[in-house]
Amino acid sequence: MKKMNYLLILLISLFSCNVNESPKQFSEAALSDTFTTLQGETIDLKSILETHKGKTILIDIWASWCSDCLVGLPKVKTLQSQYQDVVYIFLSLDRGEAAWKKGIARYQVNGEHYYMASGKKCPFADFVKIDWIPRYMVINKAGNIELFKAVKADDHKLVKALKK
């Protein structure tokens, strides 16, 4: 019986390793997904990322109606003061462009801003498997996804990814 238990534990360990593996590159569909700029223009994720090639990027997926996002904003501002060489990209899931722009101004959110017009039903959202916001990701200087998922701006994994 003990041998069966050990075998079962071994099999579960082997299969669970792949389940938790995070992607290191965006899918082509996610890279081709489009966002709206503050000026009302459309831009794809690939172009946004290429603009900052060679830099560390923190992506913050948020909305001005999200209380957890608002609680996280002071922590993001702390990160911005500590890691000034990092590019901060905010992707909004607000319910409309007016609310998005009002939220940026009201909460004094500094960084690059893009609106996810398709919301949670788009290739980017599918790729990152948005199940909660705020959602933080870190892209390293090589353009790889260093941190796929954090839901708190003071998560030790997020800070560690920014230090690399």
Average pLDDT, integer, range 51-74: 97
More confident residue, 18 or 63: 63
Which uninterrupted H or E stretch holds 60? strand 57-62
DSSP summary character for residue 103: H
**Amino acid letter at 26?**
F
Average pLDDT, integer, range 123-128: 93
pLDDT at 10 over 80: no
For residue 73, report the phi and psi dihedrals to the nearest 5 degrees: -60, -45
Contact 33, 45 (CB under 8 A): yes
Q: What is the pLDDT of residues 144-154, one digit of tens each?
A: 999 999 999 99
CA dist., res. 31 & res. 47, Å (int): 8
Peptide bond into 23 cis (omega under 30): no
Mean pLDDT of all residues in the chain? 89
Tokens of 49: 């990322």
- pLDDT of the residue at 1: 54
- pLDDT of the residue at 55: 97
Contact 69, 132 (CB under 8 A): no
Tokens of 111: 């960084």
Which uninterrupted H or E stretch holds 4? helix 2-19
9: confidence class by pLDDT, cuts 50, 70, 90? very low
Q: What are the CA-CA distances from residue 120 to residues 93, 129, 138, 157 (Å)?
A: 8, 9, 20, 25
Contact 16, 8 (CB under 8 A): no
Q: What is the pLDDT of residues 88-119, one digit of tens each?
A: 999 999 999 999 999 999 999 999 999 998 87
CA dist., res. 26 & res. 24, Å (int): 7
DSSP summary character for residue 10: H
Domains of the chain, CATH where assigned: 23-163 (3.40.30.10)
- Highest mean pLDDT (candidates 11-25, 39-53, 112-126): 39-53
More confident residue, 3 or 99: 99
- pLDDT of the residue at 109: 97
For residue 56, report the phi and psi dihedrals to the nearest 5 degrees: -80, 135
The pLDDT > 90 percentage for the chain reads 81
120: confidence class by pLDDT, cuts 50, 70, 90? confident
